[in-house]
């Protein structure tokens, strides 16, 4: 099989400055592009983004939201503040809110083509909500 020039390879396979050295690399890059087109468009894109983000966020939450992680890495930085025994609990709450609420909300907003209403984020009965909040 004749070897093509770099210009001809770029015309055959325009990938952001990557010039394949042999046809095996061309096949691999073409296969990756096929998978990307298959799974990152339409409903497959939404499912892929949500599943990958949830796996990543649950893993991060599992390892970095522990009070023991705070005690190992951050306790000496906060020892001069009042109530140092409560700081691991604040850390636990804030990291949990970040990894299980804020980041998934951002992924749902910007990672998918849908509105947040489709995921249950909407204003409901405000009168009932404020009365329950006031009673608590």
Q: Residue 48: which residues within 8 A CB-CB, separation 6 or more?
A: 39, 40
Distance CA 25, CA 49 (A): 27
pTM value? 0.57
Q: Which element (helix H / strand E) includes 72?
A: helix 67-73
| SS3 at position 15 | strand
The rounded mean pLDDT for the chain is 77
User: For 63-95, b where at least 16 C-beta lie within 10 A, e where not — what string?
Assistant: eebeeeebeeeeeeeeeeeeeeeebbeebeeeb
> Per-residue pLDDT averaged across 58-66, rounded?
90
pLDDT band (50, 70, 90) for residue 94: very high
pLDDT, position 128: 85
User: What token pair was written down for 35?
Assistant: 């998978």
82 — phi, psi (to 5°)? -65, 150
> Per-residue pLDDT averaged across 19-30, rounded?
64
Return the percentage of the chain with pLDDT > 90, whole number: 14
pLDDT, position 10: 44
> Per-residue pLDDT averaged across 107-126, rounded?
82
């Amino acid at each position: 099989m004749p070897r093509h020039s770099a210009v001809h390879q770029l015309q055959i396979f325009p990938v952001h400055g990557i010039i394949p050295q042999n046809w095996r690399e061309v096949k691999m890059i073409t296969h990756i592009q096929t998978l990307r087109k298959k799974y990152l468009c339409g409903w497959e894109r939404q499912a892929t983004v949500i599943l990958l983000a949830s796996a990543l966020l649950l893993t991060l939450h599992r390892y970095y939201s522990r009070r023991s992680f705070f005690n190992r890495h951050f306790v000496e930085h906060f020892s001069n503040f009042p109530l140092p025994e409560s700081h691991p609990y604040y850390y636990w709450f804030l990291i949990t809110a970040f990894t299980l609420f804020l980041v998934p909300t951002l992924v749902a907003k910007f990672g998918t083509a849908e509105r947040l209403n489709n995921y249950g984020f909407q204003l409901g009965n405000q009168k009932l909500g404020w009365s329950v909040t006031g009673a608590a």
